[in-house]
Amino acid sequence: MSTTENKSVEITKGINGLDKVILREINGSTAEVYLYGGHVTSWKNEHGEELLFVSSKAIFKPPKAIRGGIPLCFPQFSNLGTLEAHGFARNRVWTVDTDPPPFPSNTTNRVFVDLLLKPTEEDLKIWPHSFEYRLRVTLGPAGDLMLTSRIRNTNTDGKPFTFTFAYHTYFSVSDISEVRVEGLETLDFLDNMKNRERYTEQGDAITFESEVDRIYLSTPTKIAILDHEKKRTFVIRKDGLPDAVVWNPWDKKAKSMADFGDDEYKHMLCVEAAAIEKPITLKPGEEWKVRQELSAVPSSYCSGQLDPNKVLQSS
């Protein structure tokens, strides 16, 4: 972890004295990662605008997971297994790797930190598998945020293990009723509000007027979230993560969550790069490597309507 004179990578105290790492890119964008959960809680562009949503009622206190930002769901997504919902990675304390493996030579100008998670004795009682999870959080020169996960089976008993996974990203939006998600049209999804029954997306874009909780399957590497009011588009690029969860709790569910403001559903949307439908199995010594890259770009307009094609074709 290279700490240069300009403090591009700084370890400091966050809320309730929890350790956090601040990444600062030379062009002004920043990211913050709490060691508790290996949890990215802030991503700001060069104008200092916050791009991730964190609830004003989030509880920064173990064992409760932090509500918002980018929780890591591992080794279990939701209640698809015997563990607590979304597994335990998001409420364990990670360590900073001060001597991380090098980047490929062409990306040396990036600011990054590597965090590590290994199971404790307690973890092995509830999930009896030895693993090493390395998370690299990187800020690129254009302010893009990249999360790379490497999960290795370090079992010495010869046993494989199986898991599901998600980057449970909470995006900050101006008004959920003015937001559309592009790139998932015509795809099959499992509806979590209907016992995960399988449906096919009919709309030409996903829009929001009530609670949505879906797992889209076999999704493209690129998904766009268009925020009409902010004239901003988030682009999610993902590698090795075939599924995409789309979630907004809406008013009734929002009121039932103690760590979530009653009206905050209007200002957030989760679009989560994930591996859920087909769980991942690793043999001892095997490593699984995936990543998601988030960028925020100004939306193109065309006769007052958002033109998603420009966004999706631009790269």
Residue 10 among the catalytic residues? no
Torsion-angle region of residue 149: left (phi > 0), alpha (psi -120 to 50) or beta? beta
Alpha carbon distance 169, 238 (integer Å): 12
| 208 Cβ contact partners less than 8 Å away, ≥ 6 residues apart | 176, 177, 179, 248, 269
Q: Length of the chain in residues, anyone? A: 315
| 172 Cβ contact partners less than 8 Å away, ≥ 6 residues apart | 50, 51, 52, 53, 267, 268
**Beta strand pairing call for 222-227 and 179-182:** antiparallel
| 132 Cβ contact partners less than 8 Å away, ≥ 6 residues apart | 116, 117, 118, 150, 151, 152, 154
Backbone angles phi, psi at 192, to 5 degrees: -65, -15
The rounded Cα 309 to chain-centroid distance in angstroms is 24
Catalytic annotation, pick one of 39, 86, 129, 168: 168
Residue 272 among the catalytic residues? yes
| Encoded amino acid at 150, one letter | R
Q: Are 271 and 292 in contact (CB under 8 A)?
A: no
The helix/strand/coil state of 314 is coil
Q: DSSP character for 308?
A: H
Catalytic annotation, pick one of 25, 272, 277, 293: 272
Alpha carbon distance 210, 253 (integer Å): 10
The rounded Cα 252 to chain-centroid distance in angstroms is 24
What is the set of active-site residues?
A: 168, 272
